[in-house]
Structure 1
Amino acid sequence: MIMKQRVGIIGSGFIGKGLVKALNLMDDMEVIKVMTRTRIDGRSDFPYPDLLTNSIEDCIEHSDVIVECTGDVLFGTEMIARVMESGIPVLTMNTELQVTTGSYFAGKGFITEAEGDQPGCIAALRENALQMGFEPLVYGNIKGFLNPNPSPEDMYYWSKRNKISLEMVTSFTDGTKVEFEQTLVANAFQTKLMPNGIYGVASEDLNEGANALASEAERLGYPISDYVLSGKAPAGVFITAKHRDMEGQRDALHYMKFGEGPYYTLIMPFHLCHLEVVKTIRRVLEKKEVLLNNTSTPSYSMGAVAKKELAVGTRIKRGIGSFEVRGRALKIDDMPNHIPIGLMEQATIIRPVEAGEMLTFADVDIPDSLAYQAWMKTREQSILPQGI
């Protein structure tokens, strides 16, 4: 009889529900507990309500590995801290948390992002590319549409149509989500962004856009993390690279319909969210290997840029996915006093801010939290080597 590995889940939304269903098909794993903040007796939408618990201790007690997929930076940080104390490995499907507080945990225990979301899919594609002898120049995301300042009316419409939260659809649309993803990729692989941050090349043809980014990476002299904006490309990720044996493999790559070079683009034309998480769970349980995380000393963070003028006293319930601010990647050394957008929950503006301005801690009052404390420790560790 196969002894099943026990998987705990923190979060009962879209990812949590889908992951429970996916794991229910597996012979070697099972979900015992799903931790939720919601009222259990009101969750008729959840596929297996008997698994729900409001106790993180209950979830920890019945788990060999835990997947955090709350989509909430502050709450997720509190929960991961509790799991870390137990020594249980943590997987996340929460890029925003990884970039904001994941580095704090990377120095304390086992934490990895999972396949399924774009950073995890890029990490898996990178492993494949390296094994085939490719040298990545671009770690790329594919974005189908972008509007940095969408209207509430449009976002309410798409939220209802796609059955996802207003905050999620807004962060997808205004560019916050894709910049979070590519910031995590840059930190994870210790590569760089372009000097002015994440650029995003608009191109109907993915290969043309990818080649333009690769050419820029060669000019800069280092691999970059960025994206192509293309409504015609698949909803996936790509790596554009050169081959280590360019002359020896050129004819073979041409025969295999990879073009003339010198740049070759490997595409993963999908990311299937919770369905792919299962692969990373097995990786952790069997090999104890990290797929990717934000590292303990990241170079890049995600600041908050005002979408409009913000008067003193303006309250922001949650920065990510709001109509007041959007996320923007930045180098920590360049602006160490920026306020990460992931920390902006129940925030109050205390100094007038102009539209387009990057917010700092001097502009915003936020409640104390473990996430805030974690960020301050991460910032200290990240800037000390440069003598700041």
Structure 2
Amino acid sequence: MKLKTKIGVIGTGFIAKGLINALENQEDLVVSKVLTRRRIEDIKAFPDKDLLTNSVWEVIENSEVIVECSGDAIYGTEVVDKAFSASLPVITMNSELQVTTGSYFADRGFITEAEGDQPGCIAALKENMVQMGFKPLVYGNIKGFLNRNPKKEEMEYWGKRSNLSLQMVTSFTDGTKVQFEQALVANGLGGDIVQKGLLGPDAEDVESGGSYLAEQAKKHGSAISDYLLCPKGPAGVFITAEHEENQRAALEYFKIGKGPYYTLTQNFHLCHLEIIKTIRRVVGGGGVLLNNTANPSISVGAIAKVNIGPGEKIPHGIGSFLVRGEAVKMKEHIGHLPIGLLVNAVITRPIEAGQIISMEDVEIPDSLALKAWKEIKQKVLKKYKVGIR
């Protein structure tokens, strides 16, 4: 009888619990241990409390594959580093980690984002489309609603209604999450962004929005990563692409459109349920689906939502009511503060609403994530031969 592959899970939130439930009856996979920072006796309504541990080494020693879904870039960085020290492959559902420090790990071991969240779904859709001869122009995300400066009371209501943490629902609503997702897609799939903060046009439907973004990509001269604000659209992803002229009649017959741009949509992303596909891909010897690459060009910088004075303490930037994240070209903003590093920070200089925050504007605690970012930044300085500005 073939033994089941042992999966170590990092995190005890919505994604982790869903994955543990989904793996319960798999014939080839089993959860070995689940790492949590919380007191185990305080955790209620967990699928199997016997799996829980506060020891990262206990997870590593009992696992063959690590799935990191803590949602925390700084903590996740420490865990991935320890998993790499044991030569374990790491699957993440953590675009925040990937964009902040994933490039530090990309050439040190095996790290890939999973299908299930939008970046992994876009990467899988690209693999499928390229095999059919499509030439992607737009790697697209579909959002139904954004409010870049939501009120705390609103977010508390929606957090309770959706069973999500206040921090998580705020980062979804203010756009920080989609900025991370599309930064990862740009880096991992070799795309670019047209402008800081992405274009994010309003769209009546995905096809017309995709065609508009395809025109912008043609003007830009490369494939782009972006999103549509499309309230009537599905909760999924899309790619708008070109194809050979000799396929135009066939594609019109297949009801894909008259061209020259063709939009293929995946109208769902099923989060923890789809992680299982990536686990099997890794166990079966498949390559990286998507990561931030060792030489990224796009980051997610911290942007002030309000005026912030010196001495202001920011416990966390992602999901904050003081700042939000925007995708930026690193060569144009090499001194920016990645919002994933903005944890337990103190502002040192006056910052105006709408200003991009620089590393010199804050004091941040030392961490492996900070060390990793400094190493990534040095690579960027060397790559683009630019100074800090």
Normalised to the residue count of structure 1, the TM-score between the two structures is 0.98
Q: In terms of mean alpha carbon deviation, does 260-269 or 39-48 score higher?
A: 39-48
SS at match of 2:139: strand
Q: Spell out, residue by residue over 1:249-276, the C-alpha distance to the aligned partner (whole angstroms, 9 max, x if none).
A: 2122111111111110000000000000
Residues 336-347 of structure 1 aligned to structure 2 (within 5 Å): 336-347=334-345
User: 1:195, 1:319 → 2: CA distance?
Assistant: 22
Map of 1:40 onto structure 2: 40
Selected match of 2:383 from 379, 382, 385: 385
User: 2:196, 2:317 → 1: CA distance?
Assistant: 22
Question: What count of residue pairs does the alignment treat as equivalent?
Answer: 386
Map of 1:268 onto structure 2: 266
Q: Compared with structure 1, are the counterparts of its residues 196 and 8 closer, same or farther at alpha carbon in structure 2 (3 Å cutoff)?
A: closer
Contact 2:196 2:326 in 1 (8 A): no
Structure 2 spans left out of the alignment, 5+ residues: none
Selected match of 2:290 from 286, 289, 292: 292
Map of 1:236 onto structure 2: 236
Map of 1:23 onto structure 2: 23
User: 2:125, 2:265 → 1: CA distance?
Assistant: 8
User: 1:81, 1:176 → 2: CA distance?
Assistant: 25
User: 2:278, 2:354 → 1: CA distance?
Assistant: 38
Q: Which amino acid aligns with 2:308?
A: L
Q: Spell out, residue by residue over 1:315-353, the C-alpha distance to the aligned partner (whole angstroms, 9 max, x if none).
A: 111000000000011111111111100000011110000
1:120 aligns to 2:120 (yes or no): yes
User: 1:2, 1:85 → 2: CA distance?
Assistant: 27
User: 1:281, 1:362 → 2: CA distance?
Assistant: 40
Map of 1:173 onto structure 2: 173
Q: Spell out, residue by residue over 1:91-128, the C-alpha distance to the aligned partner (whole angstroms, 9 max, x if none).
A: 00100000000000112111000000000000000000
Contact 2:96 2:180 in 1 (8 A): yes
User: 1:297, 1:216 → 2: CA distance?
Assistant: 25
Q: Spell out, residue by residue over 1:270-302, the C-alpha distance to the aligned partner (whole angstroms, 9 max, x if none).
A: 000000000000111112410010001100111
User: 2:87, 2:285 → 1: CA distance?
Assistant: 16
Identity of aligned residues (%): 56
Map of 2:138 onto structure 1: 138
User: 2:159, 2:345 → 1: CA distance?
Assistant: 24
SS at match of 2:71: coil
User: 1:366, 1:3 → 2: CA distance?
Assistant: 45
User: 2:319, 2:42 → 1: CA distance?
Assistant: 26
Contact 2:306 2:353 in 1 (8 A): yes
SS at match of 2:331: helix
Structure 1 spans left out of the alignment, 5+ residues: none
User: 1:220, 1:43 → 2: CA distance?
Assistant: 50
- CA positional deviation for 1:42: 2.3
- CA positional deviation for 1:196: 4.1
Map of 1:49 onto structure 2: 49
User: 1:41, 1:345 → 2: CA distance?
Assistant: 26
SS at match of 2:299: strand
Note the aligned Cα RMSD (angstroms): 0.9
User: 1:362, 1:43 → 2: CA distance?
Assistant: 39
User: 1:220, 1:341 → 2: CA distance?
Assistant: 27
User: 1:287, 1:110 → 2: CA distance?
Assistant: 11
- CA positional deviation for 1:383: 2.2
Contact 1:332 1:383 in 2 (8 A): no
